[in-house]
Structure 1
Amino acid sequence: MTDQLVIKNFQTAVIDEPLKRPFITHLHKVTAIHAVQVKLILTNGLTGTGAATPNEKVTGDTMSSLKETMDSVIGPQLVGKSLNHLEELMATLANVIRYNEPAKAAFDMAVYDLLSQITKLPFPALFGGAKDTMQTDYTISIGSQEQMVTEARELVAAGFTALKIKIGNNPVAEDVATVAEIARTVGPKIPLRLDVNQGWNYKQARRALTMLEERNLNIAFVEQPLAADQIAEMARLRMQTTIPIMLDESVFLPADALRVIRADAADYVNIKLMKCGGLFQAAKINDLCATAGIGCMVGCMIESQVGLAAGLAFALGHQNVKFIDLDSCFMAKDSAMTLISNDGPKLMLN
């Protein structure tokens, strides 16, 4: 009998969507959603869709390098592979080229889209179906204190119940003052998630965390306070503060998660499909973290709805995913959503 689950062909297309306003972090400034979408076509005619978003500062790719890798390297190697042999397919995807995790993630998403269609299971059910909905935070990018406080006030008025605040570009005292003013403005019931994007050295981080503790603010966690490779320093910092530490850029692949776990360097880990190469590898990271008692967040780059929907499906499927940061679904200038529905900050899949 002919295997009907063989990948027969693939197609890619470029997506560009301008943002309502620039998104600024310690690492870069983003003005649009850029993505390469891929469609995998099976012998039986089913089509699965995935998408990749490049990030020069985090994953080291551009739109041109991303599309070239997908068209000329990864796609041709997957043609002829069968979804009946998922381990072999995913091993080929992981090893066909070093790095290039966003490109791999796009093909991985398309495979899982196909699996959902074949099994007739909702996307989150493929991962456990733990939840039907989760609430995302909304990220306030770096700006003047007045701009950031105003945006925080508007977001809480719009119904958001958690805010993520980008810091790390300014002197520590200035950043802490901005966080304190945002906390004063939105009130103690709104948890603040602070993201430094590797912007501090150890001395600055120690000072900042002490100052934040002294102010007794509702800080859910501080994300990636130090450079990605400073795992030992992160572990030492974590022992010197009561504020939970989340790691993001320190954890791309399952081996990175294992290194962080062994060092006792994190309270939480931020899983992004663009960093780890897709859902198959994300599940490994989450399993490692769950075993070690480390909760996870599912985050995103400034991604298209296809990528966000895959991330949301993963988050809904896993009990160990405690937070989601999938707010870029609200950031596009044309923010009409087709794959994701929302009730304020509450997200669910269509």
Structure 2
Amino acid sequence: MKLQSIETFRISAPLHTPFKTALRTVTVAETIAVKVSCDNGTVGFGEAPPTHVITGESLASIESAVNDIIAPRLAGMSLLERERVFERLHGVLVGNTSAKAAIDMALYDCISQYAGMPLYQFLGGYRNQLETDYTVSVNTMEEMAEDAARYIKNGFHALKVKVGKNDIHTDIKRVQAVREAAGKDILIRLDANQGWKPKEAVYAIRKMEDSGLDIELVEQPVKAHDLGGLKQVKEQVDTPIMADESVFSLYDARQVLETESADLINIKLMKSGGIYQALKIAAIADSYGVECMAGSMIETKIGITAACHFAASQKNVTRYDFDAPLMLADDVLEGGVEYRGKDIHLSSDTGMGIKEIRKQFVKK
């Protein structure tokens, strides 16, 4: 089964509600879809959204990396020698993790189809159903409380609350408002998106602990490069601290784990460069007894389907942040994972189970 062609095309899908974090506001999901075709007729799909403030990639840079650099170097390679294929994919250029991830997931789609297995089973088959949280964007306290109440009414049991914008006291009030609206039985996790300084984070988290706000975890409270600050926060609060932007690669993960700078790690295919490297990050975390979350950027169901298959295959990936497709006004895909409210079901179809991308979302 040899690689015959790698194609890219742009997809544009409006969100029904703006997505706001400490780093950016998104109203339309713009992404690059990748289609890999093999000489035996097998076709696989992948996706790479441009997330300038995190991965540094744009639509144009992703297209160039895939079409001008990666595709020519992989042409004609046999997927039956997949270690060689992935070695070349990750060695052909530095960075460009989302571009690599798009091709990586399409390759895994093809390989697991050839094996006659759903991708999650091919990767390990630990579970076939996940439960996602839902993100409460950073807004006024009143808006965040209203959003939280609405998501709970829609059946979600876990909320990921965005903070890290404006001052620390406003963030504390935001979380208080969300907890009051949610009640005591709903799981609340925070994501500061690097928006706090270490001392601010310690102050805010301790304040929330003393107030009984019962926060499950706090994600990336400080700047990505500041592992010393991350460790400082982790050691001075009781609430678990999760590294996100601090961990792109296996080497980043090893540094966080060896220095004991975080309690948990958030793995995203767009940071790691795809499933091949994500599996290594999950494995080294597991060797340290550390659990992981699997999350995403603002992606369509193409990338999320791949991430779900990865997450479902690994026993130490225990938390899931896969609400991005639910933020879109319409589903861009036929096939892939199936959402039933908060529950995500993986099909028994081989590969990722993607049938086609709806043409109305493909930009000419």
Q: Is the 8 A contact 2:191 2:220 kept in 1?
A: yes
Matches of 2:269 and 2:153, distance apart in 1: 31
Give structure 1 regions of 4+ aligned residues with deviation exceeding 6 angstroms: none
Q: Is the counterpart of residue 172 in structure 1 residue 168 in structure 2?
A: yes
Residues 189 and 218 of structure 1 are in contact (CA less than 8 Å); yes or no, is this contact kept in structure 2? no
2:353 corresponds to: none
1:150-206 CA-to-partner distances (Å, cap 9, x unmatched) read 000000010000000000112111111110121111111111110000001111111
Q: Quick check: 1:136–1:347 contact (8 Å CA) kept in 2? A: yes
**Partner residue of 1:291?**
287
Q: Normalised by the size of structure 2, how large is the TM-score?
A: 0.93
C-alpha displacement at 1:335, in angstroms?
Answer: 3.7
Provide the alpha-carbon RMSD of the alignment. 1.1
Could you say which residue in structure 2 is the equivalent of 1:78? 74
Which residue matches 1:100? 96
Q: Give 2:358's aligned residue.
A: none
* TM-score w.r.t. length of structure 1: 0.97
Q: 1:34 touches 1:304 (CA, 8 Å); kept in 2?
A: no
Spell out, residue by residue over 1:61-105, the C-alpha distance to the aligned partner (whole angstroms, 9 max, x if none). 111111121111111111121112111111111111110000000
Number of residue pairs aligned between Structure 1 and Structure 2 = 346
Match status 1:264 vs 2:260: yes
Moved more, 33-42 or 136-145: 33-42
Partner in structure 2 of residue 55 of structure 1: 51
Match of 2:362 in 1: none
Alignment-derived partner of residue 305 in structure 1: 301
Kindly state the Cα deviation for residue 349 of structure 1 after the two structures are TM-superposed: 2.1
* CA distance in structure 2 between the aligned counterparts of 1:201 and 1:57, rounded to whole angstroms: 18
* SS of equivalent to 2:117: coil
Aligned to 2:8: 12
CA contact (8 A) 2:13 2:332 kept: no
Task: Tell whether the 8 Å contact from 2:256 to 2:262 is kept in structure 1 after alignment.
Answer: yes
Look up the SS of the partner of 2:205 in the other structure.
helix
The 1-side partners of 2:233 and 2:198 are apart by 8
Q: How far apart, in 2, do the equivalents of 1:212 and 1:243 lie?
A: 10
Structure 1: tracts of 5 or more residues without a match: none
Counterpart of 1:321 in structure 2 is 317
How far does residue 51 in structure 1 lie from its aligned partner after superposition? 1.0
Structure-2 residue corresponding to 1:231: 227
Among 216, 219, 223, the alignment partner of 1:220 is: 216
- Identity over the aligned pairs, expressed in percent? 37
> Which whole-Å CA distance do the structure 2 matches of 1:92 and 1:327 have between them?
32
- 1:342 corresponds to: 339
- Equivalent-residue separation in structure 1 for 2:201 and 2:214 (angstroms): 18
State which drifts further: 106-115 or 34-43: 34-43
The one-letter amino acid of 1:107's match is I
Q: Which stretches in structure 2 are left out of the alignment for 5+ residues?
A: 348-364
- Answer yes or no: is the 8 Å Cα contact 2:301–2:332 preserved in 1: no
Query: For residues 89 and 70 of structure 2, what CA distance do their matches in structure 1 show?
Result: 7
Give me the whole-angstrom Cα distance separating, in 1, the residues matched to 2:103 and 2:217. 32
Tell me the CA shift for residue 336 of structure 1: 6.8
CA drift at 1:218:
2.2
1:64-213 equivalences in 2 (<5 Å):
64-213=60-209
Look up the match of 2:30. Answer: 34
CA distance in 1, matches of 2:283, 2:206: 32
Q: CA contact under 8 A between 2:149 and 2:181: conserved in structure 1? A: yes
Q: 1:343 Cα deviation (Å)?
A: 2.1
